[in-house]
Structure 1
Amino acid sequence: MQAVSDASVLCVDIGIFAHNEAETIGALVANLAEQTLFDRADIDPLVWVMANGCSDDTVAAAETARAALPEPLRDRIRIVDLAQGGKSRTVQRFIHAQARDQAGILGFMDADIVLPEPETLSHMVEALRTRPELQVFVSRPVKDVTHFDLDVGRVTRLIASGGDGLTNYRKSICGQLYMMRSRMARQIALPAGLPVEDGFVRALVLTDLFSAPEDFTRIDGDPAVFHVYTSIRGIGELLHHQTRLVIGSAINAALYGFFNREGLRGAALHDYLMTEAQQEDWLNHRVTTELPRRPFGYVPFSFATNRVTTFLRRDKRTAKGFVMTAIGSGMDLLVYIRASLRMWRGQGVGFW
């Protein structure tokens, strides 16, 4: 792909990661037509729909949606059909094989979100363009149950209200939608089979690949910049989702310990992640070697107690907050047990 000749034009490549998203990818592609990013003369955007390991009609749905777009926008969308699934593998390919060399900013987007505001992507690019201290700009995740005031029943509403406030989204990376300076992104490599890639990316960004202390000025967001995602609808889906997150966090923590022990940081860590960590059996071998770890076994017990700790640190504690914390903590303990059992059975790596 040829470079853009005008140096004042910023190239932005956005990867949309789609695994069996035939029901949602068409709406998101159509949604892009409303984004003002594609109307700006000072930005040259290109979107890559990274369909990976799909067994449904994701690719066909994306092609149909693209064909319905106006020609200028249609030409800015590429659809890639990858046989092998897995988000970490797909993000790795987007960064290091698919995105244009001249892209100054890379965007990362899930295929099942909605962008209600037309300025969302433009604002995200502009934040990185005008704030040199930033490496990543994040979008605020908003549940569809809340944003659209959906009538979904008590259980779903209870689930939707259970996780709010546990993390500061402006200093986290939600893999559903964020943008990063390409120079930073290309320093990052993701091990094949990594269950939770956004936490791994965040750790590398904050520490410049573990070569410096965490610098939280590198990541930020804005409450006005948000996306809407489908809230979990049932207990079974919630258990599956939370188990994946806990397993991913436990694996990430084990890898960080290994990197530190081996003195892998900066350029040396990048080279290692681009070579050894790309082997299909590397992550499983590392996890087997690093875990279980005394005294917490496979999963640090803090994952089961984080909600209580957060509640106790609050200046204001309400009766409703106490009830929600108690219910959530019970669920956290169950998830902790399920995650530990899966890790014990060797089912952690690649858990989707």
Structure 2
Amino acid sequence: MTTIDIGIFAHNEAAGIGEMLRDLARQSVLRDDRYSVRVVVLANGCRDKTTAAARDAVAAFPDPAMIEVFDLAEGGKSRTWNRFVHDIARADVDMLAFMDADIALPQQDVLVRLAAFLHARPGVDATSSQPVKDIDYYPIPLGFVERLISAGGGSMGNSRSSICGQLYVMRGAVARGLRVPIGLPVEDGFVRHALITGRFADPIRYDRIDQPDGVMHLYASERRLGSLIRHQIRIVVGGAINAAVFGHIIPLRARDGEEALVAQLDQAARDPNWLPALLRRELPRARFGWVPWPFLTYRTTYFLKNGPYTPRKTLMAVVGLGFDGLAFMAAQIRLARGKGAGFW
């Protein structure tokens, strides 16, 4: 029997967590004799009624004893990731599922398909569900801005080797060998790089992450340009911070060995001042300043290399370059002001 612990990451999600948990309660993995499943709601740093709303939804599960709600006083997704993996999950659990509390699961076999995919591929350490915007999934009328946001969707590069922080499954033994620095704005990018480099020790191997076809979840799309730009700024800031962290720990691992890396990541996972202190030392860098230049040009570069060069794609590339320019400059300013590291 395969054991799976499912962690639901929730920060001020009182409005929607009940519906999300009722979605989860319909998942076939909860009724499959091949799996022993435990669900933990990780309500962290909440200032609303997330915990109460989650407890109200417990009755929807086939066995209410399989779900437990934790009210964690300290917030932060990275901090909560460490607590889930190292303190709350079963010590010998085979697989860990990481889920955000604001997604929807229109397919009832999402988790069983992800777990079966990982079980059938011993060389794969983690697998993700494909994120789909709600405005693309449901046939609803869209305004001009919403159509623009929808048309600009899609990933750059190979999404099969990506980690989608909204919903992914990882081998328990692999997760237990990793700790995440507190305050990372984009913790899934850190986790991905740790996996494809064998915890920062090996050359990159993208085949350590893979994705089954047709497995998806829904997330609420941004509906306004302002909120979309703020979201993109967070992504750029998070990517720049991850690059600075990698620039510190990868040479450390190569120079001083595995024990030094473990000690450094253990400190980073316990000390909220570790990341801000690192950024003050590492940034800005002479080559690129606060944010690496590829964060400005990656969308345009991908388009130029891959096409197709249709009028619509060309227009989206031009609009995207302007959009990325705004996010890039705002991220530079935010990091320069020392406001990069944060909980959410």
TM-score of the aligned structures, taking structure 2 as reference length: 0.96
1:67-108 C-alpha deviation (Å, 9 max, x unpaired): 3x25x4311111001111111111111001010012100000
Q: Show the counterpart of 1:106.
A: 96
Kindly indicate whether residue 321 of structure 2 is the aligned counterpart of residue 326 of structure 1: no
Shift in Å at residue 150 of structure 1?
2.4
Letter in 2 for 1:285: A
Displacement of 1:223 in angstroms is 2.6
When the two chains are superposed, the root-mean-square deviation of aligned CA atoms in Å is: 1.4
Distance 2:250 2:115 in 1: 33
CA distance in 2, matches of 1:182, 1:123: 17
Question: Is residue 53–residue 82 contact of structure 1 (8 Å, CA) maintained in 2?
Answer: yes
Match runs of 1:96-175 below 5 Å? 96-175=86-165
Q: Name the stretch that deviates more: 265-274 or 140-149.
A: 265-274
Is 1:22–1:56's contact at 8 Å kept on the other side of the alignment? yes
- What is the distance in 2 between the residues matched to 1:178 and 1:266? 26
User: Matched residues in 1 for 2:56 and 2:147: separation?
Assistant: 34
Q: Measure the CA separation in 2 of the matches of 1:139 and 1:73.
A: 25
Instruction: Give 1:83's match in structure 2, choosing from 47, 59, 73.
Output: 73
Which residue number corresponds to residue 309 of structure 2? 317
How many residues are treated as equivalent by the alignment? Answer: 342
How many angstroms apart in 2 are the aligned matches of 1:166 and 1:149? 25
Residue correspondence of structure 1 range 205-284 to structure 2 within 5 A: 205-262=195-252, 263=255, 266-284=258-276
Q: Percent identity?
A: 44
Pick closer, same or farther for the CA change 1:199–1:276 going to 2, 3 Å: closer
2:23 aligned residue: 31
Distance of 2:257 and 2:171 partners within structure 1: 20
- State how far apart, in whole Å, the 1-side matches of 2:169 and 2:77 are: 16
**Whole-angstrom CA distance in 2 between matches of 1:276 and 1:159:** 36
Matches of 1:17 and 1:277 in 2, distance apart?
17
SS at match of 2:211: strand
Residues 210 and 265 of structure 1 are in contact (CA less than 8 Å); yes or no, is this contact kept in structure 2? no
What secondary structure is seen at the aligned counterpart in 2 of 1:106?
strand
CA distance in 1, matches of 2:184, 2:173: 22
Q: Deviations over 1:220-257 (max 9, x none)?
A: 11231111111111111111111111111101111111
Q: How far does residue 351 in structure 1 lie from its aligned partner after superposition?
A: 5.8
User: Which consecutive unaligned segments of at least 5 residues does structure 2 have?
Assistant: none
CA distance in 2, matches of 1:52, 1:351: 10
SS of 1:222's equivalent in the other structure is coil
Question: Counterpart of 1:82 in structure 2: which amino acid?
Answer: L
The one-letter code matched in structure 1 to 2:167 is L
Cα shift readout 1:244-300 (whole Å, capped 9, x = no counterpart) = 111111011111111133236645423321135521111000001000001311001
Q: Is the 8 A contact 1:209 1:269 kept in 2?
A: no
Cα deviation digits, residues 28-61 of structure 1 (max 9, x gap): 1111221110111121000111001111111111
Letter matched to residue 343 of structure 1: L
Residues 131-152 of structure 1, C-alpha deviation per residue, up to 9 Å, x if partnerless?
1011001111111001112223
Task: Give, in angstroms, the shift of residue 163 of structure 1.
Answer: 3.4
TM-score for the superposition, normalised by structure 1: 0.94
SS at match of 1:205: helix
